[in-house]
Amino acid sequence: MVEPSTFSRPDEKKKFVRDKFSAISGRYDLLNSLLSLQIDRYWRWKTTRLLRQFPTGPVLDLCAGTLPLSLELTRQARERRVLAVDFCEDMLKNGKKALPSDNRKDRIFPVCGDGEEIPAPADTFYGCTVAFGVRNLARTLQGLGEMYRVLRPGGKLLILEFSRPTNPLIKPVYSFYLNKVLPWVAGLVSGDKEAYEYLASSIAGFYEPEVLLAMMREAGFTQVERKPLSFGIVSIYIGSK
């Protein structure tokens, strides 16, 4: 089992995370739908709706992976342009292969880059989304500072991330699913059980919501708030520049 505390240096975590996503990149979308019973679509839809005041963009989709959120961002607004940044080339490649033939493929610009040193000038984007990526950053505050830097004044940050349900009925069921069922099924389908053990331990070891909200404030964000979804299995964290 890979505990988040296993990494003593940021570079070690970056290498581990990049290699793991590279190894599962071909099966990532299938596993996502399978393991979340497609509820992830609803979570992405909810997140994207919060950017409806910026229908054209540009929007930054950070840790974009195989581009599921970039697709939703461009589906909900027909003129919106999205820069999709991820440091794992294989995740982006698989996302590009699966882009639909409509004009969304001309409005999504995938770029290989590090979320802790975003390859874009200051004050560029109306919105920045990060779906299931912040937990994977090696230096969270550095990443949040970069998100703040590249947003325009008035721009909005939306972080969609796993949190931990507190409902006493849901909590044990979810914990059993996350620690036992998920790595086993994911191991069978992806051939890489360790990647999904990391998923479980990284969720367990991630900051409490209040701590992440405090870090967002420290990075400069205002009007910071959290919206729990699906019994708090995930949360949307919102901040403004």
195 torsion bin: left (phi>0), alpha (psi -120 to 50), beta (else): alpha
Q: Which of 24, 51, 88, 147 binds ligand SAM (CB under 6 A)?
A: 88
Binding to ligand SAM by residue 73, rule CB under 6 A? no
Q: Does 69 bind ligand SAM (CB under 6 A)?
A: yes
Q: Which stretch binds ligand SAM (CB under 6 A): 2-10, 84-92, 171-179, 223-231?
A: 84-92
Per-residue x/- track, 186-225, ligand SAM (CB under 6 A): ----------------------------------------
DSSP-based helix, strand, coil % in the chain, nearest 5:
50, 20, 30
User: Under a CB-based contact definition with an 8 Å cutoff, are residues 94 and 66 in contact?
Assistant: yes
* Closer by beta carbon to ligand SAM, 18 or else 80: 18
3-state secondary structure 48-107: HHCCCCCCCCCEEEECCCCCHHHHHHHHHCCCCCEEEEECCHHHHHHHHHCCCCCHHHHC
Tell me the site size for ligand SAM, rule CB under 6 A: 20
Q: Which of 69, 20, 33 is nearest to 191 (CA)?
A: 20
Q: With beta carbons less than 8 A apart as the criterion, state whether 133 and 115 touch.
A: yes
Q: Which of 133, 155, 232, 239 binds ligand SAM (CB under 6 A)?
A: 133
Among 128, 131, 155, 148, which Cα is nearest to 32's? 131
Residue 168 CB, shortest distance to ligand SAM, in Å, is 28
Query: Per CB under 6 A, which region of 65-73, 120-128, 173-181, 218-226 contacts ligand SAM?
Result: 65-73
Residue nearest to ligand SAM (CB): 65
131 binds ligand SAM (CB under 6 A): yes
Indicate the pairing of strand 234-240 with strand 151-162.
Answer: antiparallel
Q: Nearest distance from residue 14's CB to ligand SAM, in Å?
A: 6
Asked if 161 touches ligand SAM (CB under 6 A), the answer is no
Contact 204, 176 (CB under 8 A): no
Which range of residues in 15-23, 51-59, 71-79, 180-188 is near ligand SAM by CB under 6 A?
15-23
- The binding site for ligand SAM (CB under 6 A) comprises 17-18, 21, 63-65, 68-69, 86-88, 91, 114-116, 131-133, 136-137
